[in-house]
Amino acid sequence: MTPPDAVGSTAGIDVGGTFTDLVDWDGRRLATGKVPSTPEDQSGGVINAVQPLESTPHAVIHGTTVATNALLEGRGATTALVTTEGFEDVLAIGRQDRPALYDSMADRPEPLASTRVGVPRDTNRAEEVPDLGEPESIAVSLLYGYRAGEREASIADRLGERHPDVPISLSSEVVAEFREFERTSTTVLNAYLRPEMSRYLRRLADELERIGVAEVGVMRSSGGLMSLGDAARLPAAALLSGPAGGVVAAARLSLDMGYDRAISFDMGGTSTDVSRIENGVPQLTYERPVAGYPCRMASVDIHTVGAGGGSIGWRDPGGSLRVGPHSAGAVPGPASYGIGGTAATVTDANVFLGRIGALGSSLTLDIAAGRRAIGALAAELGMAPAETAGGIVTVVEETMAGAIRRVSVEEGVDPRGAVLVAFGGAGGLHAAALAKRLNMAAAVVPRYAGVFSALGLLLSPPRVDVALSISGADELAGALHAVVDAAGSNLQAAAGTRGTIATQVDVRYLGQSHELSIPYDPAAPVASIAAEFHRLHRERNGFARPTDPVEIVTVRAVAQGRPTLNWDDLPPLGSATGAVPVSREITAADGTTHPAAVYRSDALGPGDRIEGPAVIEDAEATTYLGPDDRATVAAKGALVIEW
């Protein structure tokens, strides 16, 4: 992880399903780029993004979906699990909940560890570990492993002698928390992904070194950076590496603009990611399922739906129009990209409706091919082409509105009064319509919206997350000291600084099956924990029981260093320009056509006001204003859309 004052520029590179985005910062100037992703090997897209730069960056910060894709596609390692005798089937037993409440045929995914063996509970003799065959990766997760790190390490030493070239993941190092099923699942998940992630990162580092890049950092799911070595050792911590950068950038923007409540909305080519932000801080979760497997590691609380610019419109067996989740991806892409795609996508619908053009874009659009794709789907549906294009937009917007409700209404938070921070190549096309649908205060489309997740990588600090479960309040002080020391020491080793350290505790009512995480200053009275827990429990769950006893089950520490780039470092926008737009016919949501003013984003300055219908285009993204919308250009270049 590169310190902010390193010599040379630093490039944030975010790999998406369709495009690979780059933002390069040299301390004074910021350059952006967007190239097609290379799904077979993401390092190809990374190299293609770097090569057009005038000079090679000193460092690259990388947001990647390699770990996620390996899990979804079943390309992980042959994994063996060593656990306590009698607990070999904990992965298969799991919890009593079902994957689909009303589908009796739905099954949990098969355990990722094909070999599962037990060691006697009351012995420290690691030689008693049974034969594991020839695994490609090993996970060690003993009962009470979060308190028995020495024993897990002893077993790992013995296994290392038998399997010298096989990586070994220990639960006491991956996730030192209670709940044997979730801890074991996370450790096995880490082991399953470790060889694939390690191979990719080695290949990427070699390719970048070949062109002169000296350092590489990786985005972690919790919204901070980790070293290349830590990412190879803990791939489970990078399962949400890609979308986390955009949430960090949205949080920094909302804080800078004075918004207490925001929802980030990242619409790319393949999917849409949404996350809630409170007082400039992204909401975190400490456990989430990924492809059906529990992962108990800190991550930005993101909800993803298969709705992006490349999402394909199709006719279901009942004759209704559906959109996604399958996508045209980077290859063959939307039909209007002119690189072989023929299916009608959301992008093609926006091209047909006049909302996407080529005024500021780096793309050469094949508008005729996009219209043919919409026409073919319209014929299949028995609808007019314009009605079909409008229907695609309506359907995909309802899917995305559902995602926003999922992180707000369904968590007891009213989206009214919040702003929608929309980015990604397609975010600005749908931001105003979605914010209005949910009665939100405004939609904000930031400067650099098309590469905003890559910008977020530069705004993200080096970060270390440490957790330790405890058995009672009498262990609190010792546990706090341990996690603070571990977090600071690990950050020192990775980034050369102990940084700032914040602590929090996971609290629940006695015997409750879930916890709430509460910030806690070790200098504050322990009694303050209960008071804050009751307040937060009422806010999140609608009730509190102030007379019931509470218990602290896990202590956490987060150490953070300095980011490469702060929001105030961004170059200012020029003065208001009095930009003169061109005109283009567009089709509104109700099917009516209107002449729309079309602006280049680089021709706008602070204070400029734009009345809809209008389109604002730049090289990486497009923003659409409906007939009743109006936008104001803020000081740092963000478009604030109201109605």
Mean of all residue pLDDT scores within the chain: 92
Residues in the chain: 643
- Is the per-residue pLDDT at 22 higher than 90? yes
Residue 252 covered by a domain: no
**Please, which pLDDT band fits residue 2 given cuts at 50, 70 and 90?**
very low
Mean predicted confidence (pLDDT) in 432-459: 96
And the tokens for 320? 């209704």
Mean predicted confidence (pLDDT) in 322-350: 92
Task: Choose the final residue of a domain: 511, 530, 561.
Answer: 561
Share above pLDDT 70 across residues of the chain, in percent, rounded to a whole number: 96
Q: Could you tell me if 391 and 475 lie in one domain?
A: no
Q: 327: closest CA among 25, 37, 4, 96?
A: 37
Residue 215 covered by a domain: no
Query: What pLDDT score does 402 carry?
Result: 96
Q: 195: closest CA among 138, 155, 239?
A: 138
- Give the domain CATH number at 481: 3.30.1490
Residue 233 covered by a domain: no
Give CA–CA dist 42/58, Å, rounded.
20
**Please, which pLDDT band fits residue 95 given cuts at 50, 70 and 90?**
confident
Residue 331 covered by a domain: yes
Max CA distance (Å), the chain: 79
**Please, which pLDDT band fits residue 412 given cuts at 50, 70 and 90?**
confident
Query: What pLDDT score does 46 carry?
Result: 96
Residue 19 covered by a domain: no
- Give the amino acid at 165: D
Q: Could you tell me if 474 and 556 lie in one domain?
A: yes
- Whether residue 327 contacts residue 306, with contact meaning beta carbons closer than 8 Å, is answered with yes
- pLDDT tens profile 413-424: 899 999 999 999
**Please, which pLDDT band fits residue 8 given cuts at 50, 70 and 90?**
confident
**Please, which pLDDT band fits residue 100 given cuts at 50, 70 and 90?**
confident
Residue 519 covered by a domain: yes
**Please, which pLDDT band fits residue 360 given cuts at 50, 70 and 90?**
very low
- pLDDT tens profile 47-71: 999 999 999 999 999 999 899 989 9
Task: Give the chain's domain count.
Answer: 2
Q: 183: closest CA among 143, 148, 222, 149?
A: 143
Q: Could you tell me if 379 and 468 lie in one domain?
A: no
Residue 157 covered by a domain: no
Task: Choose the final residue of a domain: 395, 412, 438.
Answer: 395
Mean predicted confidence (pLDDT) in 349-356: 95
Flag the least confident range among 131-145, 181-195, 335-349, 357-371: 357-371
Query: What pLDDT score does 123 carry?
Result: 61
**Please, which pLDDT band fits residue 11 given cuts at 50, 70 and 90?**
very high
And the tokens for 612? 């809809």
**Please, which pLDDT band fits residue 589 given cuts at 50, 70 and 90?**
confident
- Is the per-residue pLDDT at 3 higher than 50? no
Provide the β-strand partners of residue 295: 288
Q: 360: closest CA among 28, 622, 634?
A: 622
First to last CA, the chain: 43
Give CA–CA dist 425/265, Å, rounded.
11
Query: What pLDDT score does 89 carry?
Result: 93
Domain range for 387 is 311-395
Strand 622-625 with 614-617, pairing: antiparallel
What distances in angstroms separate CA 65 from CA 16, 458, 539, 620, one per listed residue?
Answer: 7, 18, 34, 21
And the tokens for 60? 């690259």
Q: Which residues of 458-481 are buried (b: 16+ CB within 10 A; e: fewer)?
A: bbbbbbbbbbbbbeeeeebeebbe
Flag the least confident range among 2-6, 104-108, 449-453: 2-6
Q: Could you tell me if 468 and 556 lie in one domain?
A: yes
Q: Could you tell me if 557 and 475 lie in one domain?
A: yes
**Please, which pLDDT band fits residue 213 given cuts at 50, 70 and 90?**
very high
Give CA–CA dist 304/289, Å, rounded.
12
Task: Choose the final residue of a domain: 368, 395, 422.
Answer: 395
And the tokens for 274? 């949404």
What's the pTM value of the predicted model, to 2 decimals?
0.91
Residue 38 covered by a domain: no
- Give the amino acid at 410: E
